[in-house]
Amino acid sequence: MRVEAGRSGPRADAYPDRVARKFLIRTFGCQMNEHDSERIAGLLAAEGMEPTEALDEADVVVLNTCTIRENADNRLYGNLGHLKALKDRHPDLQIAVGGCMAQKDRGLIQERAPYVDAVFGTHNVANAADLLARARREGPVMEILEESAAFPSALPAQRDLPYSAWVTIQMGCDNACAFCIVPSVRGKEISRPFDEIVAEVAGLAAAGTTEVTLLGQNVNSYGRDLTRRRPLFADLLRAVGQVEGIRRVRYTSPHPKDLRPETIEAMSDVHTVCPHLHLPLQSGSDRVLAAMHRGYTAERYLNRLAAARVGVPDLAVTTDVIVGFPGETDADFERTLEVVAEAEYDSAYTFIFSPRPGTEAAAWEDRFVPAEVTADRFERLKVVVERSARAKHHGRLGRVEEVLVEGPSKKDWAVLTGRTAQNKLVHFAGSAAAGSYADVRITGAAAHYLTGDLMEVTARPRHRTRIPVAAV
């Protein structure tokens, strides 16, 4: 979802007979934020508003913010600056800021941008529409809660895709990673009731959704606040995977220290659970991992990864790696290169460390790694990651893969894109509706995608109508 400043359209006041106000949502950050934006869209739609893609047509613009990356503040205030110019021309425009940065910065947002009408945090997404209504009556409002009164599972949602859906199973995080601000802005771990999750998935399946992704800050610790018996996440995978109509179950993101044999067994036993594991490494150095408070060593990580590959045939593995964590030496980084090479990832999200105010590592300025050093390390890591990614992809040449068709490629509308069960992007020519399943023979391999030829469409979309979307 994004604000497209270059697009324009007629405003509501150009059509005095039009009743419905229009909203546009821009989302920054992770899948959790994406799903929160779907909830916000559902709440605004329940108030009779309509989504729009045109900025100049919007009566309400919501920025759902992230605070993970260093430039998050600049992106927010840059967008707010553009919106101020629009609001100067159209004073009836309402601007709202929600999400993690709103939770962190609180009153600072309205101090720096007093034209913002509503600020709300991660724990009161459910109040977004009410706050905007209050702001119309009373002027700018801010509401930041320290924790959620209840799991926001009953909120309506306008989902981006009719065939694929996020399903939140858990909020917050009980870990204390030195680089991460999530526990501060999302709060402690709260697991959603088991039966409620399964019921939501069943409802989605009945409406035509065939792929669900279970979301949580640390999904494989799901349920430890609900019961004292064995972890519930493996049981949840089995239950969701058996819902009639669901063809694919994904989840993100697990923590290596909590990856248990029961989860691997469930992935192996339940054919609808996709053979894809995103397992964040962050560093290959035990010294750095200890400073990060990650709770595992490189050897323990590699052992669990090896067990997962033994247990789940054709498993694709992706990861996260941070370069330049405070105090990282050349020897630490060399060890990271060794572990990444041994792990042979299908792909990796690589990041240069950026200090986030409020995190433990942000205070370690005397240990910060020089920018030129981290830049060099980043490029060297990229070479190792792409080497294994290409090797993994070349190993798929000639195979027939089932893909879930996503629609035309953004770069070439004559080419379709889809994803395999291993979450690999495939480009291919042919005709198939978004939401279809198709067999594609793989003919080409690059570091970040595959190419192929359409063999046949094996399943048509099950949804009868497209679920409305917020701004795309």
In this predicted structure, the answer to whether residue 259 has a pLDDT above a threshold of 70 is: yes
Strand, helix or coil for residue 433: coil
In this predicted structure, the answer to whether residue 455 has a pLDDT above a threshold of 70 is: yes
Separation of alpha carbons 382 and 472, rounded Å: 30
Residues 6+ apart with CB under 8 A from 117: 94, 95, 96, 132, 135, 136, 139, 140, 141
Separation of alpha carbons 98 and 314, rounded Å: 40
Q: How confident is the model at residue 127 (pLDDT cuts 50, 70, 90)?
A: confident
In this predicted structure, the answer to whether residue 453 has a pLDDT above a threshold of 60 is: yes
Give the model's pLDDT for residue 284. 98
Give the model's pLDDT for residue 71. 67
Of residues 151 and 104, more confidence is placed in 104
In this predicted structure, the answer to whether residue 145 has a pLDDT above a threshold of 90 is: no
Give the model's pLDDT for residue 465. 45
Residues 6+ apart with CB under 8 A from 275: 267, 312, 313, 314, 315, 316, 421, 422
List the 316-323 sheet strands across, edge first: 276-278, 316-323, 347-352
Lowest mean pLDDT among 6-15, 232-241, 404-413, 441-450: 6-15
In this predicted structure, the answer to whether residue 121 has a pLDDT above a threshold of 90 is: no
Give the model's pLDDT for residue 3. 33
**Average pLDDT over the chain, rounded to an integer:** 88
Give the model's pLDDT for residue 19. 56
| Tokens matching residue 37 | 């934006």
Region 339-363 average pLDDT: 94
Locate the DSSP E strands across 39-104. 50-51, 60-65, 94-99
Lowest mean pLDDT among 41-55, 148-162, 327-341, 411-425: 148-162
Report residue 229: phi and psi, to 5°.
-80, -170
Q: How confident is the model at residue 74 (pLDDT cuts 50, 70, 90)?
A: confident
Q: With beta carbons less than 8 A apart as the criterion, state whether 175 and 196 touch.
A: no
In this predicted structure, the answer to whether residue 4 has a pLDDT above a threshold of 70 is: no
Region 69-74 average pLDDT: 66
- Name the percent of the chain lying above pLDDT 90: 62
Give the model's pLDDT for residue 246. 97
Region 65-85 average pLDDT: 79
User: Count of CB atoms within 10 A of residue 42's CB?
Assistant: 17
Give the model's pLDDT for residue 12. 41
Region 248-265 average pLDDT: 95
Give the model's pLDDT for residue 152. 57
CATH 3.80.30.20 fits 164-394, yes or no: yes
Give the model's pLDDT for residue 149. 55
In this predicted structure, the answer to whether residue 469 has a pLDDT above a threshold of 80 is: no
Region 278-301 average pLDDT: 98
Which range of 19-33, 141-155, 363-377 scores highest in mean pLDDT? It is: 363-377
In this predicted structure, the answer to whether residue 2 has a pLDDT above a threshold of 50 is: no
Region 28-38 average pLDDT: 78
Give the model's pLDDT for residue 238. 97
For the domain with range 12-143, which CATH number is right: 3.90.79.10, 3.60.15.10, 3.90.226.10, 3.40.50.12160? 3.40.50.12160
Separation of alpha carbons 341 and 218, rounded Å: 25
- The predicted model scores a pTM of 0.81
Lowest mean pLDDT among 158-162, 272-276, 293-297, 378-382: 158-162
Q: How confident is the model at residue 5 (pLDDT cuts 50, 70, 90)?
A: very low
Region 155-179 average pLDDT: 84
In this predicted structure, the answer to whether residue 175 has a pLDDT above a threshold of 70 is: yes
Region 432-436 average pLDDT: 95
Give the model's pLDDT for residue 33. 75
Angle between helices 261-269 and 298-311 (to 10 degrees): 20
Give the model's pLDDT for residue 441. 98
Give the model's pLDDT for residue 150. 55
Nearest alpha-carbon partner for 276 in 299, 304, 243, 252:
252
Q: How confident is the model at residue 188 (pLDDT cuts 50, 70, 90)?
A: confident
Nearest alpha-carbon partner for 240 in 221, 214, 276, 209:
214
Tell the residue number behind the tokens 């709770």, with chain if given. 295
Give the model's pLDDT for residue 105. 80
Give the model's pLDDT for residue 17. 47
In this predicted structure, the answer to whether residue 148 has a pLDDT above a threshold of 70 is: no
Q: How confident is the model at residue 467 (pLDDT cuts 50, 70, 90)?
A: very low
- Name the percent of the chain lying above pLDDT 70: 89
In this predicted structure, the answer to whether residue 29 has a pLDDT above a threshold of 80 is: no
Q: With beta carbons less than 8 A apart as the criterion, state whether 426 and 419 touch.
A: yes
Tell the residue number behind the tokens 């606040």, with chain if given. 225
Of residues 369 and 6, more confidence is placed in 369
Topology of domain 400-459 in CATH is: OB fold (Dihydrolipoamide Acetyltransferase, E2P) (2.40.50)
CA distances from 200 to 157, 168, 189, 239 (A): 12, 10, 20, 12
- Residue spans in the chain of domains classed CATH 3.40.50.12160: 12-143
**SS3 of the chain: helix, strand, coil, percent, to 5:** 35, 20, 40
Strands 450-459 and 425-429: parallel
Give the model's pLDDT for residue 106. 78
In this predicted structure, the answer to whether residue 334 has a pLDDT above a threshold of 50 is: yes
Give the model's pLDDT for residue 464. 55
